[in-house]
Amino acid sequence: MEPWLALLLWVSALSSSFSLPASPRPSLVPQVRTSYNFGRTFLGLDKCNACIGTSICKKFFKEEIRFDKRLAPHLGLPPDYLLSYPANYSDDSKTWRPVEIFRLLSKYQNEISDRRICASVSAPKTCSIEYVLRKTGRFQKWLQAKRLTPDLVQGLPSPLLRCPSQRLLDRVVRRYAEVADAGSIFMDHFTDRDKLRLLYTLAVNAHPILLQIFPGAEGWPLPKYLGSCGRFLVSTSTRPLQEFYSAPPDQAADLAYQLLGVLESLRSNDLNYFFYFTYIEADMFGIFNNGHLFIRDASTLGVIDKQEGSQAATRAGENKDIFSCLVSGCQAQLPSCDTVPEKQSLVLVCQQLLPRLLQKRFPSPVQEEIDSALAQCGQGAHPDSEVLGAASRLKDILRPLRTCDPRFAYRYPDCKYNDKF
């Protein structure tokens, strides 16, 4: 079987059965096992043509994204219960670099989501997902809309859209990479399929959208967006933070210093957006081979527009529909954006992540100073100023504990000649 056909099956929802040839030709792309189908589980949409024309499909068809041949080669395609898969990516089919293929929902969440969609129209356990979503009142409004406005996204569960400003939504449309002629704040160039893809992604998991509208190439602490459709995403490969919990002290200090710097940039930046985490786990942060730390999973990242202000979240029960319930229950309350304190992300990180990196790693009295700053930084009941001050002191303690050598290629050899690094 040709590799491109295996990839076509991976991004389609067509249930087909193929037989393996007796002697498959060598390829980085595993062959498809009989009756092995990934389509609907990954896409969350019915047909392959839902993704035709997207950057991700073009890459698959050109065989410029290939599964890692070491991943369960006897199964054909990788098992469908994993949340991410190693793969290889190329811009020219000659040079390759590692990437990750992410599920935006777990298999269990996929199944629950599909049931809810069918149940919303009193259909059996299986139904045409696209047909149901296209008939919703929300999508009909999207079809008529020339511009993405706050009323079109109210009730969606993503923290990104908790209190959206018009400036933020214009940025979403202008930088949405999966349409031709991106760059306008108006959606005149969006096809019906483009609008459904964007709405579906915003409802399921806004992580791919954040990667597009706040790209790493412009200094944002996010990995490079390489494409997405439906419920999956391809992005630059990183190692999750928890793999570094046993790292040498100088590396632990460097990662903690970077993590505090990331939160500082999210809190204060030139575009006057305030980013905050609603929930944090170690695997939400990743480290590139050069030692640089990035946000690996931005799905729980909320955004408040400090320049323009944000439209208040709707009261419970308003603007709720099937798009509000694709990931979680429909009864979630959306508190006012005015209640999100500046310290929120710092408290979460200082309570849950930094202790695993920094405790019992350094000699006295440095360790005592670190522990004291950590304790104050993690005090959610303290005023913002006290928590931010403790984080600043912690950065000052960590800075001289970082070494300058090739392991930290993201700042080496600059660190030999400039104290800034």
CB-based contact 347:380 (threshold 8 Å)? yes
Dist CA 239 CA 296 (whole Å): 9
In Å, the largest CA–CA distance within the chain is 68
Phi, psi (rounded to 5 degrees) for 364: -75, 150
Residue 20 above 80 pLDDT? no
Dist CA 29 CA 35 (whole Å): 17
Give bridge partners of residue 280 from the DSSP assignment.
Answer: none
Dist CA 4 CA 334 (whole Å): 44
Q: Which residues contact 246 (CB under 8 A, 6 or more apart)?
A: none
Q: What share of the chain is helix, strand, coil (3-state, %, to 5)?
A: 40, 10, 45
Dist CA 348 CA 302 (whole Å): 14
Dist CA 421 CA 416 (whole Å): 8
Task: State the average pLDDT over residues 392-400.
Answer: 97
- What DSSP character marks residue 317? T
Q: Is residue 61 a part of any domain in this protein?
A: no
What is the number of other CB atoms lying within 10 angstroms of the CB of residue 134?
Answer: 16
Task: State the average pLDDT over residues 159-184.
Answer: 90
**Predicted pLDDT of residue 32:** 35
The tokens 């527009």 sit on which residue?
305
Dist CA 218 CA 215 (whole Å): 6
Gyration radius of the chain's alpha carbons: 23
Task: State the average pLDDT over residues 66-87.
Answer: 63
Residue 80: which pLDDT band, with cuts at 50, 70 and 90? Answer: low
Q: Is residue 352 a part of any domain in this protein?
A: yes
Across 165-169, 259-263, 415-419, least confident range: 415-419
Residue 241 above 90 pLDDT? yes
397 or 324, which is more confident? 397
Q: Is residue 355 a part of any domain in this protein?
A: yes
Q: Is residue 287 a part of any domain in this protein?
A: yes
Nearest to 161 by CA among 271, 306, 311, 320: 311
**Predicted pLDDT of residue 227:** 86
* Domain count within the chain: 1
40 or 54, which is more confident? 54
* CA–CA distances in Å: residue 199 to residues 205, 254, 280: 10, 39, 25
Q: Is residue 360 a part of any domain in this protein?
A: yes
232 or 269, which is more confident? 269
DSSP output for 150-163: HHHHTT---GGGSS
Dist CA 172 CA 152 (whole Å): 13
Residue 69 above 50 pLDDT? yes
What is the number of other CB atoms lying within 10 angstroms of the CB of residue 222?
Answer: 24
**Predicted pLDDT of residue 47:** 47
Residue 268, H or E segment: none
**Predicted pLDDT of residue 109:** 76
Tens of pLDDT, residue by residue over 114-145, are 788 888 888 776 777 788 889 999 999 999 99
Average pLDDT over all residues of the chain: 81
Could you tell me the residue range of the domain that residue 264 belongs to? 239-295+341-402
* CA–CA distances in Å: residue 217 to residues 23, 211, 296, 395, 414: 43, 10, 15, 25, 19
Dist CA 121 CA 187 (whole Å): 28
**Predicted pLDDT of residue 22:** 31
Residue 246 above 90 pLDDT? yes
Q: Which two tokens stand for residue 85?
A: 């898969």
Residue 7: which pLDDT band, with cuts at 50, 70 and 90? Answer: very low
Q: Is residue 314 a part of any domain in this protein?
A: no
Dist CA 103 CA 30 (whole Å): 19
Q: Is residue 180 a part of any domain in this protein?
A: no
Q: Is residue 254 a part of any domain in this protein?
A: yes
Tens of pLDDT, residue by residue over 313-368, are 544 445 788 888 887 766 666 667 888 999 999 999 999 999 999 999 999 999 99
Residue 78: which pLDDT band, with cuts at 50, 70 and 90? Answer: low
147 or 120, which is more confident? 147
**Predicted pLDDT of residue 14:** 25
What is the number of other CB atoms lying within 10 angstroms of the CB of residue 343?
Answer: 25
Dist CA 189 CA 158 (whole Å): 25
**Predicted pLDDT of residue 107:** 65
Sheet (strand 97-103) strand order? 65-67, 84-89, 97-103, 232-236, 225-229
294 or 60, which is more confident? 294
Task: State the average pLDDT over residues 140-167.
Answer: 94
Nearest to 337 by CA among 164, 133, 110: 164
The tokens 């070491």 sit on which residue?
70
Residue 100 above 70 pLDDT? yes
% pLDDT > 70, the chain: 77
Residue 400: which pLDDT band, with cuts at 50, 70 and 90? Answer: very high
Tens of pLDDT, residue by residue over 202-214, are 998 899 999 999 9
